Amino acid sequence: MSLFGTDGIRAPFGEPPLDRRTVTALGAHLGRRLSARERTPRVMLGGDTRDSTPELWRWLEAGLRLGGAEPLLAGVVPTPAVAWLTRELGAACGIAVSASHNLHPDNGIKLLDRDGGKWTTAAESELENALAAEPDFGAGEEGAPAAIDPALGARYVGALAAEIPADALRGLRLVIDAANGAAAPWAAELFAGLGAELTLLGAEPDGRNINRDRGSTHPAAMARAVVEHGADLGLAFDGDADRVILADERGAVRDGDAILYLWAGDLRRRGELEPARIVATTMSNLGLERALAADGIGVERCEVGDRAVVETLRRSGLRLGGEQSGHIVDLRRSATGDGMRTGLEMTRLLAGSGRPFSALLRDLRRYPQLLRNVRVTRKDELSRLPHVAAAQREVLERLGADGRLVLRYSGTEPLLRIMLEGPEQAAIDAMADQLEQAIRRDLPAEAPAPS
């Protein structure tokens, strides 16, 4: 059984691999692995508001104890809080129980190393192999849940608040959508504690409504509320609050590209972006690259995924990177995306500017962008597909320096994804049609009937 995907384990609760047998055995193997390196290692546990989260904690705790580890339970906290607490308290590992932006009944398990970063794929594979070799280790264990220590979450929020002056947000009017998720118990404490006036949405979790018509994947309600309440800015977190999407005072939704533009520029002006480059994924808009270049800031591209962002930051010795989805990493302060920290940076910047948020983004011109998925029956190397390769060359020649093309297979679905950017929407629509026709010639959607 393959356990780990691009962002940990994720599945409907109660079904493999999120059944009791597998999760308890996972905890036991993890505890054994950590205990081989230190005596009674501590493991930080937290998670989001799904009704299945406490049960998953209980299974993990039983397995961890059997494997020789000591669980510490922070309760409902954002995934970045688990990461911060793991590093702050010197725990050997952190576990966030969350399915991020997925809806109920899905849940998930994310493993974090002692520095608060996500486990490497190699480390995940080793644990997966151990579980495959001994799948019933700890499977019969029962255990009472550890007592939740609410001071742990408060400690994280206090550390965030201490990063900017007290009352720095006084007079700022914010709409905050907590997605009925992990930010719900903490967002008001953080932002109102610094002086902001709040309108809260998605702050009444019932165990099943996480991300439902709320949060960063559904920001429309937050954007409308900004206009209705005359707010200065809106923030929409996802279920585990490791990402955030914004809306300006006019209700225009602003994604991670806008956040990277503002944050990078602010760091540059303060002399804190050396070298003057950031990391963005292949999906970030060309307009971001052009706007930052005008400020003397370069962009290094990487594959999609916050793990790839962090790896590129470390390899290139850079500080700031992120994704359009609102996963933003300031590597000097965190090894993972942190939606509440990102929101705090944006509100601090806005409060100190004396200008509307839309005015701060005046020089960020987004190029028209097209995303199209083409269903395929196999995933051959693109360079070996004659019609696709020819169409790709022609499109790249037509775009020149005024656009971008990304062709990539989905990692989880039978899809070939087309991403095009250019100065004119009609032109990139026509190019996408050309590419799709070539894909369908080389990789027909239906396999040919046997002769």
Active site residues: 100
Task: Give the rounded distance of the alpha carbon of 61 from its chain centre.
Answer: 25
Q: In this structure, is the dihedral angle defined by the CA atoms of residues 88, 334, 9 and 119, taken in order, positive or negative?
A: negative
Contact 374, 434 (CB under 8 A): no
Task: Please state, in angstroms and rounded to a whole number, the distance separating the CA atoms of residues 183 and 245.
Answer: 14
Burial (0-12, 13-18, 19+ Cβ within 10 Å), 105: middle
Task: Please state, in angstroms and rounded to a whole number, the distance separating the CA atoms of residues 69 and 66.
Answer: 7
Helix (H) or strand (E) holding 43, with range, is strand 42-47
User: Of 109, 28, 110, 107, which is closest to residue 71 (Cα–Cα)?
Assistant: 28
Rg (CA), the chain: 23
Task: Give the rounded distance of the alpha carbon of 371 from its chain centre.
Answer: 20
- Complete edge-to-edge strand list for the sheet that includes strand 233-237: 197-201, 173-177, 233-237, 244-247, 253-254
SS3 category, 281: strand
Calculate ∠ Cα 205-22-211, nearest 5°: 20
Residue 365, CB-side half-sphere exposure with 13 Å CA sphere: 9
Q: Give CA separation, 446 vs 245, 376, 384, in Å.
A: 38, 8, 19
Strands (E) across 202-353 are located at 233-237, 244-247, 253-254, 277-281, 298-302, 320-322, 328-330
